[in-house]
Amino acid sequence: MAEQNFLKNISAGLLLDTMAEGVILVDTEGKIRIWNKAMTDITGYTAKEALNRTTEWLRSAECMGAERIFSLFTSATRGDSGIDGCECRIIAKSGEKIPVMVNARILRSEQSGTFGILQTITDFRPVFNLRQEIAAMASRMQSEDNFEGITGKSQQMQRIFRLISLAAESEASVMILGESGTGKELVANAIQQLSNRKNGPFIKVNCGALPETLLESELFGHEKGAFTGAIKRRTGRFEAADKGTIFLDEIADISAAMQVKLLRVLQNGEMQRVGGESLIKVDVRVIAATNKDLAREVKEGRFREDLYYRLRVFPLALPALRERAEDIPLLTQYFINRFSARTGKLITGIARGALQKMLVYQWPGNVRELENTIEYAFVVCQERTIGADDLPAEIGLARSNLPVTHTHQEKRETGRTSIESKRILRDRSRLIDLLESSLWNKAEAARALGVSRTAVWKWMLHHNIPARQDQAIVDLDGKK
């Protein structure tokens, strides 16, 4: 009786056919008793084809989740009520295995006990395709060492690539931290392009480039007559970014008053135009960036603590170039290739002496400074290879010695003295032997010597030792 009443009530008024999700009711014999229009859209089977059949014919061999759903009948006596978020695949009429998300609930009545399982089926193809795209992008980033202009083989950058992929899957606010020139905007671009908002607007605002009065109007817009010169209503950047992403660069430079207004947008998803009275709802993901120590700014009272935590739900700290010196040769060649294509100038590489100077230079301007350095070299270089004389003066004057530094702790851990380590580094064959024993892991070799990984890289360059064992040993000047 309870089952009949349920079927009668739920079928009335075509209610189920208005739902975007598929709905199935399976009775205690495993037969389908309800099949809505969305299930037809997902599978291609009509209700006439589906009713009174078991769901076995829908199951893919890899749809392990179905076992969990049918076990609900046997577990009902234990008080189980259902299953949430079961990912599996069902076989459509076309033969396609469609990824779906299944939620299931046991139906009971006091008179007849358990009489069925109600399942909602969500077409998971959009999410599945996005996951595949993110995985493919992440794979390309790691295999090609380059994505959207972000280049690096170092462990630090491989970690950044993984974090970019994770950030892209989330809707959380992202705070990108790093010195000037480390590529914060490139990272923001990458997150946007990998996210499910990639087809929405991507609005960039440099908060440090505008005074407070102009910044408020820029971010939130203004009404006609709000101030002198406001001859018509203007849409702000947050409204323009609706259903997309806004990138707030130099976020640490905004005033205390602006911080309050920004906090309201993050907390409530609503804003107010300058001179306006009504609140405007916006659906915007925020990515912020700064080259300042924002935690210190909070501690010293220059930045609101509540806004700080709202913005840094997903913090992403970019390493300075001097902290990943092993990426300098790769970045150098990347920019050489770019400027060669742009200018048509037949410059194909960099001389070993020039690269040594670049390795010991500290790069206060980071990757942006390196890019500008290569662009400068393209202007002055008259050969096919960039030489030390083609570099800016501050880099050309950089110390070219190859330092080996140790701490007492490192000496105790490795058992090597500074003299022993220097001898190994200066002897090409002994350094190769050490690299082979470390499986060509430069960090492991550095630990064995008690030196920095950068020192190992510099001496490898000095001896013309390739980065990997399987690479041919080719001189950086192009000679075998």
- pLDDT the model gives residue 142: 43
- The single-letter code of the amino acid at 363 is W
Phi, psi of 269 (to 5 degrees): 65, 30
Report the b/e string of 78-102 with b at 16+ CB within 10 A: eeeebbeebebbbbeeeeeebbbbb
Exposed / middle / buried, residue 272 (Cβ in 10 Å: 0-12, 13-18, 19+): middle
What DSSP designation does 227 have? S
Which pairing describes strands 146-147 and 150-151: parallel, antiparallel, or unpaired? antiparallel
Report the b/e string of 458-469 with b at 16+ CB within 10 A: bbbbbeebebee
- pLDDT the model gives residue 479: 38
Angle at 54 between CA 53 and CA 58, to 5 degrees: 100
Return the closest-CA partner of residue 428 out of 463, 382, 474, 376: 463
Work out the percent of the chain whose per-residue pLDDT is above 70.
Answer: 80
Report the b/e string of 231-246 with b at 16+ CB within 10 A: eeebebbbbebbebbb
- List the beta bridge partners of residue 371: none
Q: Residue-wise pLDDT tens for the chain (480 aa)?
A: 555 655 555 554 467 777 888 898 888 888 888 888 999 999 999 988 989 888 777 776 545 455 555 555 444 444 556 777 777 788 888 988 888 888 888 887 777 777 788 888 888 888 777 765 654 554 454 445 556 668 888 889 989 999 999 999 999 999 999 999 999 999 999 999 999 999 999 999 999 888 887 898 889 988 877 677 777 878 889 999 999 999 999 999 999 999 999 999 999 999 888 888 888 999 999 999 999 999 999 999 999 999 999 999 999 999 999 999 999 999 998 899 888 878 777 788 899 889 989 998 999 999 999 999 999 999 999 888 999 999 999 897 765 444 444 433 334 334 445 677 777 788 888 888 788 767 777 777 887 788 877 788 888 888 888 765 544 333 334 433
Q: Could you give all domains of the chain from N- to C-terminal order, each with its CATH number? A: 2-123 (3.30.450.20), 129-317 (3.40.50.300), 321-396 (1.10.8.60)
pTM exceeding 0.75 = no
What DSSP designation does 231 have? -
243-281 pLDDT, tens digit each = 999 999 999 999 999 999 999 999 999 988 888 888 899
- pLDDT the model gives residue 107: 83
Continuous H helices in 54-124 = 65-75
- pLDDT the model gives residue 258: 92
| Residue found by looking up tokens 């189920």 in the block | 16
CA distance 305 to 104: 42
- pLDDT the model gives residue 145: 59
- pLDDT the model gives residue 409: 39
- pLDDT the model gives residue 72: 55
Q: Are 216 and 274 in contact (CB under 8 A)?
A: yes
Question: 315: alpha, beta or left, given left = phi > 0 and alpha = psi -120 to 50?
Answer: beta
